[in-house]
Amino acid sequence: MERVRLLERRVTAHRKLALFLELYLPRGPRDPRWTLWIELWARIPSNEDLRAAQQEMDDGWQRDLETLLAKGVDQGRFAADLDVPAHASEPLALLDGLSTRVVLGQRGADRAASLKHATSAATRLIPHA
């Protein structure tokens, strides 16, 4: 899995975070990963099995970002008092919104612009040491 390889890379926590953002965002409009994801979201309210599957996928991204941030705290790259779960959840919510806009092909919402927005937001949301 790409996220596992990302977490195992020997790069700084800041670089790893940048790579995480790149991995999360869709490659462009109609990215098959994200098209499937959006279809899944639309069916969740009426299907408990899909809700559980979606939650499991979300939990994996949350857990991996928490691991990345916790290691960054341990390495002195992120603030020592960082509330890791909260500071992982916030950028993920932003990434979901940016990703949806890219997949839907909304004007001005391409991958490059979304990555720039995500990087800027992550810098503000995740305090550095």
Exposure on the CB side of residue 119, measured as CA atoms within 13 A? 13
CA distance 99 to 102: 5
Q: What is the mean pLDDT of each run of 10 residues along the chain (129 residues)?
A: 87 95 94 89 91 93 97 96 95 96 91 96 92
Query: Taking the domains of the chain in order of start, what are their residue ranges?
Result: 52-128
**pLDDT for residue 129:** 80
**pLDDT for residue 3:** 86
**pLDDT for residue 6:** 86
**pLDDT for residue 112:** 95
Give ∠ CA 91-92-94 in degrees, rounded to 5.
65
**pLDDT for residue 123:** 94
CA distance 6 to 93: 20
* Cα–Cα distances in angstroms (integers) from residue 119 to residues 5, 18, 39, 53, in the given order: 21, 7, 27, 28
**pLDDT for residue 114:** 96
**pLDDT for residue 28:** 92
CATH class of this structure's domain 52-128 = mainly alpha
